[in-house]
Amino acid sequence: MKFHWFAEFFYTKLADDYGDTVHSAWVDPPMTSFDPTLVGEDYRMYLRLMQQADRQGWDSVLLNEHHQTSFAMSPSPNLFAAVLAATTENAAIALCGNSLALYNPPVRIAEEMATLDTLSGGRLIAGMVFGTPQDSSFAYGMPPVEVRDRFHEARELITRAWSEPEPFAFNGTYNKLRYVNIWPRPIQKNIPIWVPGSGSVETWDVVNDNDYCYGYLSFSGKQSALPIVNEFWEYTESTGANMNPNRMAFTQLICTADSDKEAEEKYYEAVRSFYRQNPVAPEFAAPPGYNSLPSVRAMLNRSKTISAEQRAKAAKGELSFWEYDELGYIIAGTPERVEQRVRELATELRIGQLITAMHIGNLDEETAAMNVDLFGEKVIPKLRDIHSEYEDLWTPQESQRRVAAAAERKLAASGAGAMA
């Protein structure tokens, strides 16, 4: 099993009443809520934590793209990825991803990702996303009905730009280029591609037809995700596509401490802030045309494993710490308890790639660093056996080699220390 370090670049200095008073944390949050100097401090904290995760054995450090929001201040994940490609040694650099429909022309993404692959020594994971409606349609003005078609055209252009041996012309609906001949080309001949989604059937077709990794990026936990993940695997099996668990990535909030009591004391306020400080105005959430009719039908027909009342309480920060845990929003407690819960999650949902959200809401850096140390040292090594019988083609071979070698060196050093 593989582990990917992740945090939404949450603005940690929000006023206590922010979530109750703003119209939306997306698209039109008031500029008076931000201090650019403090944003810079948050950015440096996230980079330090990701560099720590590289040392502690994570298989990748993962970045995403969002716009005009206090929830995830990462409008250009490639900027942060460039820093990490030059300052980490082992972990893959995972972009999950770039919102392809927003780039004109998309060869810019092909060039930047190739640059990152060369800078990192062949450690890039290329995540390609549709983008949320808030990002694509409202922040960047993309007509909702065009997002998917633009995405697919851009994906075709980018993958061809990485592999075509000679300059070529591209004559698409949205992109018309006489010469496509990017420099540099990536080191990897087949860059692993991940496509995140939230349950649309069209996305499942894309990942199954091309043997990509499907990333279910939910912050609602196992209970809420179970119907969607099971439906994905049933659909995948029915189409004869690859059932390798390493084709499924799943996001999970993690809160590790030396005791269950300490976990509640150190993380509860951060969990509450993560959920209650993120209101999304309903008019920004689902513009007509963004989801296809078949996907809307599928979403409406899926069983709901968490009640509307529980979801509302979670969003307002009104659940107790252990209610968040019981419903799967978080996995919390001692390393032993966290290990057991993660094993159940990965086994029952057939997950080979776990995206661990290790910084949450307004969590302080000291506690986040403790979370990284405890999970990296006491949990990851004990879960490597899960799905180990399957080959992983969706994490770069170079990063797999480096992470395994670093783990062997650490194990040898700890053994020598014990003997001494």
| Residues forming beta bridges with residue 126, ordered by sequence position | 95, 193
User: Is the pLDDT confidence value at 353 over 80?
Assistant: yes
User: Is the pLDDT confidence value at 28 over 70?
Assistant: yes
**Distance (Å, rounded) from C-alpha 148 to C-alpha 100?**
9
Closest CA to 2 of 386, 410, 358: 386
Task: Read off the tokens for 338.
Answer: 């966290």
Mean pLDDT of 52-81: 97
**Distance (Å, rounded) from C-alpha 14 to C-alpha 272?**
13
- Note the pTM of the prediction, 2 decimals: 0.96
Residue 146 near residue 162, CB atoms below 8 Å: no
Residue the block writes with tokens 């119209």: 23
Residue 305 near residue 231, CB atoms below 8 Å: no
Q: Helix 77-87 vs helix 36-55: angle between axes, to the nearest 10 degrees?
A: 40
Task: Read off the tokens for 70.
Answer: 């206090």
Mean pLDDT of 216-234: 88
| Residues forming beta bridges with residue 193, ordered by sequence position | 126
| Residues forming beta bridges with residue 256, ordered by sequence position | 333
Mean pLDDT of the chain: 95
User: Is the pLDDT confidence value at 111 over 90?
Assistant: yes
Query: HSE on the CB side for 62, CA within 13 Å?
Result: 30
**Distance (Å, rounded) from C-alpha 134 to C-alpha 66?**
9
pLDDT in tens, 303-352: 677 788 998 999 999 999 999 999 999 999 999 999 999 999 999 999 99
Least confident of 61-70, 119-128, 189-198: 189-198
Least confident of 104-118, 205-219, 295-309, 329-343: 295-309
Least confident of 88-92, 330-334, 416-420: 416-420
Mean pLDDT of 198-214: 90
Confidence (pLDDT) at 307? 85
Least confident of 94-103, 143-152, 299-308: 299-308
Q: Which pLDDT band, with edges at 50, 70 and 90, does 19 fall under?
A: very high
- Per-residue HEC secondary structure of the chain comes to CEEEEECCCCCCCCCCCHHHHCCCCECCCCHHHCCHHHHHHHHHHHHHHHHHHHHCCCCEEEECCCCCECCCCCCCHHHHHHHHHHHCCCCEEEEEEEEHHHCCCCHHHHHHHHHHHHHHCCCEEEEEECCCHHHHHHHCCCCHHHHHHHHHHHHHHHHHHHHCCCCEEEECCCCEEEEECCCCCCCCCCCCEEEEECCCHHHHHHHHHHCCEEEECCCCHHHHHHHHHHHHHHHHHHCCCCCCHHHEEEEEEEEECCCHHHHHHHHHHHHHHHHHCCCCCHHHHCCCCCCCHHHHHHHHHCCCCCCHHHHHHHHCCCCCHHHHHHCCCEEEECHHHHHHHHHHHHHHCCCCEEEEECCCCCCCHHHHHHHHHHHHHHCHHHHCCCCCCCCCCCCCHHHHHHHHHHHHHHHHHHHHHHHC
Query: In order of start, what are the domains of the chain with their CATH numbers?
Result: 2-419 (3.20.20.30)
Residue 7 near residue 53, CB atoms below 8 Å: no
Confidence (pLDDT) at 198? 77
Confidence (pLDDT) at 308? 86
> What amino acid occupies position 382?
K
Mean pLDDT of 71-98: 97
**Which residues lie below 8 Å from residue 185, measured CB to CB, with a gap of 6+?**
114, 162
User: Is the pLDDT confidence value at 405 over 80?
Assistant: yes
Q: What percentage of residues in the chain have a pLDDT greater than 70?
A: 98
pLDDT in tens, 259-316: 999 999 999 999 999 999 999 999 999 899 988 787 777 777 766 777 889 989 999 9
Q: Which pLDDT band, with edges at 50, 70 and 90, does 179 fall under?
A: very high
User: Is the pLDDT confidence value at 181 over 90?
Assistant: yes
Segment 233-237 long-range contacts (CB within 8 Å, at least 24 positions apart):
233/350, 235/201, 235/204, 235/208, 236/204, 236/208
Confidence (pLDDT) at 296? 78
Confidence (pLDDT) at 418? 64
**What's the Cα-to-Cα distance from 118 to each of 78, 189, 244, 303, rounded to whole Å?**
13, 12, 28, 45
Confidence (pLDDT) at 303? 63
**What's the Cα-to-Cα distance from 275 to each of 209, 217, 333, rounded to whole Å?**
35, 15, 19
Q: What percentage of residues in the chain have a pLDDT greater than 90?
A: 87
Confidence (pLDDT) at 264? 98
Confidence (pLDDT) at 219? 87
User: Is the pLDDT confidence value at 117 over 90?
Assistant: yes
